[in-house]
Structure 1
Amino acid sequence: MTHNPSFRPPLLIISHFPPPVHGFAVISEAMSREIKTWRPVEEFNMARPARVSLLKHMRQATAVLGICAALVSRRRRRCDEISMGVNGGVGQLYNLMIAAVARLLGFRIVLHHHSYGYITRHSRLMAVLCALGGAKLEHVFLAHSMARQFQARYGNTQVAHVLENALFVPPTPALDRPPGPLRIGLLSNLSREKGLYDFLATATLLREAGLDAEMYLAGPAGTEDLGAINAAVADGLVHWSGPLYGAEKDAFFAKIDLFLFPTRYVFEAQPTVIYEAMAAGAPVVAFDRGAIKEQVQDCLAVVDQADDFARRALDIIAPLSRDGAPALPEKARALHAETSQKAALSLRRIYGGPPSL
C-alpha cells in the first residue's frame, strides 16, 4: 500500500449529540462543526435517550461497547486521537471504559469538561479516570478558574487547555434599541435553582423603588412554578414569552438592555445563555457560580452567593435606569468577540488546526 503523506486520519469525537437538545450536546455538535473546517472528524454519540432510567443505561452501555469496538477498527486505519466529553455522576463509568480501551490502543485522549459536579464534590470515578489516563490524558476546561479548581482536587499531573463556549455562540447584528424604559430579561429553564424567584424579587424591588424598567421572562416552566409566573404576569410585574427558539430567541436578546442570571444551580459551569446575551449587546448581572465570574468579567457584575441578589441588582440597576449606559452594549459585544477569538485559536492548538484565523 502506498503511503500518502497528505493523509490525515479523522479526529474521533465521542460525546453527546442532539437529540435530545441540551447544552452539552449543542456545544459538542458546534465544536465538531468548527473542527471539520480544517480536518476530518468522525462523531460517536454516547447519548441514548429513554424515558426509563434503567433502559437508558442499558442503551448507553450498548452504545459505549460499540464505540470501544470502533476504536479498535479505527486504530488499524491509523486514527490516533480521541476527543471525549465527560459525563456527570455514574455516566463517568462509560468514560472510564472508553479511556481504558483508548489507552491500551495508544490513542491521544483529550477530555472536555462541561460540569462542576465532580469539581464541587470529589468523585472517585473521576479520580480513577485521571489515574487511568496517564501521560496520554489531556483536559479541556471552560475557564482558567475551572482548571485550577479541578487540579486542586485531583492533582496537577496532566496537560490542561482552556476553551470557552463563546466560540460556539455566533455574534448577532447590532440593532438600535428603541428609546424607553430599561428592559431587563431572564431566559432559562424557569425554576428556583435557575433564578426565577430572585428575578421576580428584583422586579418587585424595582417597582417599589419607582424605577423605570420593564422585566421580561422567557423559557419553559414546571407546574410548580407556573403559579408564581402567572401571578407576576397578572400583576403587570413581568412579561413572559414561554419557550423561545431560533429567531424568536434572537429577538428576545435583541430587545433587552440587561440580562440577569441569578442561578443557584450548584453544578453551574459556563452558561451559554450568558454569551448569547453578550453577543446581542446585553451586559450581565449574575450569581458567582462555576466559571461565571471569569466569563462576565466587568461586563457588568457578579454577585456573591451569600448576598441578597435582588438588593444587589437594585443597586446596580438604579443608576442605569436613571442615566443609562450607552457604552455597555458595545462593551458586551467586544467581550464576546474577544473571548470567541481566543477560544478559536485554542481549539486549533489543541487539535492541530491552522495557526491563524
Structure 2
Amino acid sequence: MRAALALVVGGKRRDRAYLSVPGQRGVWLFVLLASILRLRGIEHWVHHHSFRPINLGPSQAMRALVAAGGRRQHHILLSNDMRRRFAGLYLDGETDDCAISLSNAYLFGPRIDDDRPRARPQRPVTLGHMSVLTREKGVPYLLDLFAGLAARGHDWRLVIAGPCADPVLSAALAAATVAGPDGRPARVEYRGSVEGAEKERFFADIDLFVLPTTLIDEAEPLVMLEAFARGVDVVASDTGCIRDRIRTPGHLMTLDRERDFALIEDRVADLAGDWTAIRQACIAHARAINADAEVEAARFFPRLLAPFGGVASSGSPVT
C-alpha cells in the first residue's frame, strides 16, 4: 500500500518499476498496484518465483494482474520452459516483448568450487537432502525410499539438514536417527538448520543430493544450484524449472519407489565408476547455468535500466 501511495504521489512516466509478485491471495493486492502503474504510464517488470500460477493455471488472480498491467507490464520467469508455459496461459503465447527468462543463478547463484581433482573421502555412499523440511518437499517419501534402499542391501547413509516445524515430521526424523538394536550407528543423520561452515560441511559430506519435491510453488530451487556448484550431483522430481536445470533427464525422479530405487542405484554406480569426473561435470554444469544466466541478464537489464544509463560492461546494474 505504501508503494501504491508513493506511485500515486510521485510516479513519473519515465520511471521503471521492478517488483516480485506475492504468492497466493496476495496477488489480488498486487492487482491494485499494477493498475496504478498502468494509469501512471509506468513500465513495470514482474518477477515470478513461484510455479503455482502455472501448476494451477489459469488462475483468475493472475489473469486479473495481466489485464491490469496492460502493455506497460512485462514478466520475468526463471527458465525458458517456465516463460513459455506462463505465456501460453496468460499472454496468448506472446513472449518476445511481454516475457523474458532470468535464472536465479544470476541474482542469487552461489560461488562455484574449483574443479581441481580431489580424492573421494573414505566413507559409505552418502545421500543428502537440505530444505525447509516439509511433507511437500518430499521428506517422508525420502525417508521411505532410503529405508527401501537399505532393505535392498545397501549400506548407505542419509544426511538431512534444514529447519522443521512439523511435529509429525520431526518425530519421523527422530525415529529414523535412532541407532540400531545391534548397537550400530544410525544410517540417517539429521543436522537441523545449517549455514556457513556447517552448510559447506553438509555438501562435503554427501555424494548425491536427493530432492523429491512435490511443492506446488517449486520453481528453480537454489539448493540445486548450490549442490552443482559444490560438485555434488542431483536427482530431483520433475516439477517447476527442475527439468531445465538438472544435468540429464536420467536424473529426474518419478516418485515411483521401484523406478526411483533403480534411478538412485544407477547414479551411485556412476559415482563409483569415476567420482572425480562426476564432480567436475557438476561444476561444469553450474558454470554453464551461470553463463546462460549472464546472457539472459545482458538482455534484460538494458531494457529495465534504459532511462537510467543502462548497465555496466560487467552486466551489473548501474545505481
Shorter-chain TM-score: what band?
0.7 to 0.9
Tell me the equivalent position of 2:173: 229
Aligned match for 2:146, one of 191, 203, 215? 203
Tell me the equivalent position of 2:43: 108
Q: Bigger CA drift: 174-183 or 225-234? A: 174-183
Structure 1 counterpart SS, 2:11: helix
Deviation, structure 1 residue 108: 1.2
Aligned match for 1:129, one of 48, 65, 72? 65
| 1:119 aligns to 2:54 (yes or no) | yes
What TM-score, normalized to structure 1?
A: 0.75
Residues 159 and 308 of structure 1: CA distance in aligned 2, closer, same or farther (over 3 Å): farther
* Residues in 1 aligned to 2:28 and 2:105: alpha-carbon distance in whole angstroms: 29
Structure 2 counterpart SS, 1:351: helix
Deviation, structure 1 residue 95: 1.7
| 1:160 aligns to 2:110 (yes or no) | no
* Residues in 1 aligned to 2:255 and 2:84: alpha-carbon distance in whole angstroms: 20
List aligned pairs for 1:55-74, cutoff 5 A.
Answer: 64=1, 66-74=2-10
Q: Bigger CA drift: 227-236 or 170-179? A: 170-179
Structure 2 counterpart SS, 1:267: coil
| 1:267 aligns to 2:217 (yes or no) | yes
Tell me the equivalent position of 1:281: 231
Deviation, structure 1 residue 210: 2.8
| 1:147 aligns to 2:91 (yes or no) | no
Aligned match for 1:87, one of 10, 14, 22? 22
* Residues in 1 aligned to 2:124 and 2:187: alpha-carbon distance in whole angstroms: 14
> Are the equivalent residues in 2 in contact too, given 1:203–1:237 (CA < 8 A)?
no
| 1:138 aligns to 2:78 (yes or no) | no
Residues 300 and 249 of structure 1: CA distance in aligned 2, closer, same or farther (over 3 Å): farther
* Residues in 2 aligned to 1:132 and 1:285: alpha-carbon distance in whole angstroms: 40
Residues 224 and 134 of structure 1: CA distance in aligned 2, closer, same or farther (over 3 Å): same
Count of aligned pairs between the two proteins: 292
Greater RCO (Cα-Cα under 8 Å, separation 6 or more): 2
Deviation, structure 1 residue 96: 1.0
Tell me the equivalent position of 1:333: 283
Tell me the equivalent position of 1:16: none
Tell me the equivalent position of 1:173: 113
> Are the equivalent residues in 2 in contact too, given 1:348–1:355 (CA < 8 A)?
no
- Structure 1 residue runs of 5 or longer lacking an equivalent are 1-63
Structure 1 counterpart SS, 2:275: coil
- What code does the residue aligned with 1:323 have? G
What TM-score, normalized to structure 2?
A: 0.83
Deviation, structure 1 residue 306: 5.6
Residues 341 and 240 of structure 1: CA distance in aligned 2, closer, same or farther (over 3 Å): same
- What code does the residue aligned with 2:76 have? V
> Are the equivalent residues in 2 in contact too, given 1:173–1:280 (CA < 8 A)?
yes
- What code does the residue aligned with 1:145 have? D
* Residues in 1 aligned to 2:78 and 2:219: alpha-carbon distance in whole angstroms: 8
Deviation, structure 1 residue 315: 3.3
RMSD, matched Cα:
2.3
Residue deviations 1:210-244, cap 9 Å, x none? 33432111112221112211111114131110111
Question: How much identity, in percent, do the aligned residues show?
Answer: 30
* Residues in 2 aligned to 1:68 and 1:190: alpha-carbon distance in whole angstroms: 35
Tell me the equivalent position of 2:306: none
* Residues in 2 aligned to 1:80 and 1:245: alpha-carbon distance in whole angstroms: 38
List aligned pairs for 1:281-320, cutoff 5 A.
Answer: 281-298=231-248, 301-305=251-255, 308=258, 310-320=260-270
* Residues in 2 aligned to 1:314 and 1:102: alpha-carbon distance in whole angstroms: 49
Tell me the equivalent position of 1:350: 300
Structure 2 counterpart SS, 1:326: helix
- What code does the residue aligned with 1:326 have? T
- What code does the residue aligned with 2:220 have? Q
Structure 2 counterpart SS, 1:70: helix
